[in-house]
Amino acid sequence: EPEVTQTPSHQVTQMGQEVILRCVPISNHLYFYWYRQILGQKVEFLVSFYNNEISEKSEIFDDQFSVERPDGSNFTLKIRSTKLEDSAMYFCASETGRYIANTGELFFGEGSRLTVL
């Protein structure tokens, strides 16, 4: 069964360092998302991406964050200068597209746990 894959599964970094989290969405999906979940808290929307541009972003997604789809398969989240409060599980998700039969169900990757020291 096709799945969303994320790398790395766990990354430890020093405050102020740049981090790139990588995702390979399901191949025929058209909508891509990043969410984060701080330990013990809710899943928070960061950004959505469609047709090679950001569709919507949250207030969390400030200038320190950026997303890119550098080729036909990868979807990356970059944090330019990490802060302690960026420590969280980051989930990539993808969605097939908005056809009549499509529900908007999100398919999540297993997550990348980021620890900022």
Partner 1 sequence: GQNIDQPTEMTATEGAIVQINCTYQTSGFNGLFWYQQHAGEAPTFLSYNVLDGLEEKGRFSSFLSRSKGYSYLLLKELQMKDSASYLCAVLTGGFKTIFGAGTRLFVKA
Task: Note the residues at the interface with partner 1 (CB under 8 A).
Answer: 31, 33, 35, 41-45, 48, 50, 55-56, 58, 91, 98, 103-111
Q: How far is the CB of 21 from partner 1 (least distance, A)?
A: 14
Query: Which CB, 5 or 64, lies closer to partner 1?
Result: 5
C-alpha–C-alpha distance, residues 34 and 92, integer Å: 5
Of 21, 32, 1, the closest CA to residue 116 belongs to 21
Query: Which CB, 93 or 116, lies closer to partner 1?
Result: 93
Q: How far is the CB of 22 from partner 1 (least distance, A)?
A: 16
Q: How far is the CB of 93 from partner 1 (least distance, A)?
A: 8
Q: How far is the CB of 10 from partner 1 (least distance, A)?
A: 11
Query: Which CB, 33 or 65, lies closer to partner 1?
Result: 33
C-alpha–C-alpha distance, residues 102 and 107, integer Å: 13
Query: Which CB, 4 or 116, lies closer to partner 1?
Result: 4
Outline where DSSP puts E strands in the chain: 5-7, 10-13, 19-24, 31-37, 43-50, 53-57, 65-68, 75-79, 88-95, 107-108, 112-116
